[in-house]
Structure 1
């Protein structure tokens, strides 16, 4: 669940701006730092968000990785069209796969046993060696993307095609067509206007 939510939240930093265009929530190191802090629980233990220092290099890495992830999202929703935010400038799937896998591999992990006193032992994984925050963040995001795209939730992924929406979402029930009720309302209004425009053109 954490991996799924993390990778979806990253993809959704590209969104509709409310005025007919698309906006990007990750355009400055400060915006990236705030996003990382807001996702501290999902990024732990790979990254300590409280001490993470975002710079231009970290921002460029995350934006590049996000482009790769959104390209793989577009592949996952085929034969349906991708989000209109990316439709004209999608990274090729082969390149997107290479970038995601390279980011994940930058921080090799090893199995680790955790066994607190009075509790049952549990296995997880952790970095095989100490790494910098830049590699740790990209690796955590890439691993979340891999876990999501290789898991069962991938089949629920959809691109919302309501007017002005550019979001990806998970289809949670059979009749769901849109990412949010507001998008469904906009789509119904647009369909209503389109149906009533056609006869007007015919009379003209």
Structure 2
């Protein structure tokens, strides 16, 4: 399914940029603050706002306006990415937000690769002083859509070394994925760590009562 709106391509500066974009999409499913799960992409306006808020990761965002086809395509792609995130964090448990309804991995891979194939790419050689030559791929002139751009970022992230830092936060009520920044990090943010420690304290207290 083609995605509406102007052609958008991912900036290819760093893998970190790809990781941030793909994580941001996964995190549009989040804890709602009241014990449930919220979805930021329930209508085209939500997708439009999400795209326009990321001019550093996506090009030509200022005039972007999503339609129903774009929304469906990105939501389908998000489901595939979250299924592959769940695989990446094994043997740890996936995010509880959708752990019971994840796509099978082969279907997730097929969906991701099909989205990426909608943009033809061309190789570019980059060769900085005192460095080995690097081949990067960019969208061919006149090709591509939002879903393809996100899929390219997801493939770069999942196929690269940053994937090994991906974790699912299992603090009470949290449903986020995050990139582990240091060896002792267990939670996506300090507030989640605080909640987890309080929960452990109460559990130990109940067990000893």
Q: Which residue of 2 aligns with 1:29?
A: 44
Report the secondary structure of 2:186's partner residue. Answer: coil
Length, aligned pairs only: 187
Say which of 169, 173, 182 aligns to 1:160.
Answer: 169
Report the secondary structure of 2:99's partner residue. Answer: coil
| 1:144-159 superposed matches below 5 A | 144-159=153-168
CA distance in 1, matches of 2:26, 2:170: 16
User: TM-score, normalized by length of structure 2?
Assistant: 0.85
User: TM-score, normalized by length of structure 1?
Assistant: 0.87
* Long gaps (5+) in structure 1: 115-121
| 1:1-204 superposed matches below 5 A | 1-44=16-59, 48-111=60-123, 125-131=137-143, 136-200=145-209
Say which structure is richer in helix. Answer: 1
Higher relative contact order (CA 8 A, sep 6+): 2
* Long gaps (5+) in structure 2: 1-15, 127-133
Report the secondary structure of 2:119's partner residue. Answer: coil
Report the secondary structure of 1:81's partner residue. Answer: coil
Pairwise CA distance, 1:129: 4.9
Please say which structure displays the higher CA radius of gyration: 1
Pairwise CA distance, 1:86: 1.4
